[in-house]
Amino acid sequence: MSHLANDLDMARRWLADAAHVAVLTGAGVSAESGVPTFRDALTGLWAHFRPEELATEDAFRRDPARVWDWYQHRRRMLRDVLPNAGHRALAAFQQRHPGRLTLVTQNVDGLHQRAGSEGVLCLHGDLFADRWLDAARACCRLDAAAAGSPPHCGGCGNLVRPGVVWFGEALPVAALEAAERAAHACDVMLVAGTSGQVYPAAGLAHLARRAGAQVVIVNPGPTELDDTAHLVLAGTSARLLPELLG
């Protein structure tokens, strides 16, 4: 039996025995749907920017059109993609084992939900949601925003921004607290398709490990969390998640 087959076997046994499984996903789980990972999304026109230069409030205030156009480009790209076998395996496991799996995602693409996963804890927001940059005044109505790049309030000029969590912004409290509870309570934490560079999301793997869970990584490349894991399964999520959870 190969090294990977042995490790897969062990992870499958841990999952079979686990009363509660927490899963943390990142952009890599959508790669096989044709969605570039977060760091790979910086191609073409945007290739010379670092993520921190686009995904921050400062960047948006400095050049709203540039940042808005980057998000519109990503929204358009997502219209034509479908969930892949990795998303589907997670949703199917949850359906077969109600209450046993909590899915926490850093992704903003909605593909887990479209695959049928329920109660997804979205730590970094929703790419398709809009909200106001500054506190909404009486004149600010999203359904009546004046067209533009970005759209704006015709009354006061407030700008529309994507409903995602940028660097330096707080994560949604309820989702983060529920994710921390799941990481603390799980027997196995599966970490799939994330570079593990961004906190507090990456901290969930450390939390789970400290609380006694087996931590299993699924990723074709090295991650910042490899040293925290009991098992690192080198492979893609569309291939390995169905094998682990099927």
The residue within the footprint of ligand BJW, chosen from 28, 64, 110, 150 (CB under 6 A), is 28
DSSP assignment of the chain equals: --HHHHHHHHHHHHHHH-S-EEEEE-GGGGGGGTPPPTGGG--GGGTTS-HHHHSBHHHHHH-HHHHHHHHHHHHHHHHT----HHHHHHHHHHHHSTTSEEEEE---S-HHHHHT--S-EESSEEEEEEEESS---TT--GGGPBPSSS-B-TTT-PBEEEEEPPBTSPPPHHHHHHHHHHHHH-SEEEEES--S-STTTTHHHHHHHHTT-EEEEEESS--TTGGG-SEEEES-HHHHHHHHH-
Report yes or no: 2 and 165 within 8 Å, Cβ to Cβ.
Answer: no
The minimum distance between CB 129 and ligand BJW, in angstroms, equals 11
Q: Is 245 in the site for ligand BJW (CB under 6 A)?
A: no
Q: Is 173 in the site for ligand BJW (CB under 6 A)?
A: no
Q: Is 198 in the site for ligand BJW (CB under 6 A)?
A: yes
Q: Is 191 in the site for ligand BJW (CB under 6 A)?
A: no
The residue within the footprint of ligand BJW, chosen from 21, 78, 164, 176 (CB under 6 A), is 164
Q: Is 50 in the site for ligand BJW (CB under 6 A)?
A: no
Instruction: Give yes or no: 124 in active site.
Output: yes
The minimum distance between CB 201 and ligand BJW, in angstroms, equals 7
Catalytic residue among 112, 124, 152, 206: 124
Q: Is 205 in the site for ligand BJW (CB under 6 A)?
A: no
Q: Which of residues 68-97 bind ligand BJW (CB under 6 A)?
A: none
Q: Is 220 in the site for ligand BJW (CB under 6 A)?
A: yes
Per-residue binding letters, 225-244, with ligand BJW (x by CB under 6 A):
-----------xx-------
Q: Which residues bind ligand BJW (CB under 6 A)?
A: 26-29, 31-32, 37-39, 51, 55, 106, 108, 124, 164-170, 192-195, 197-200, 219-221, 223, 236-237
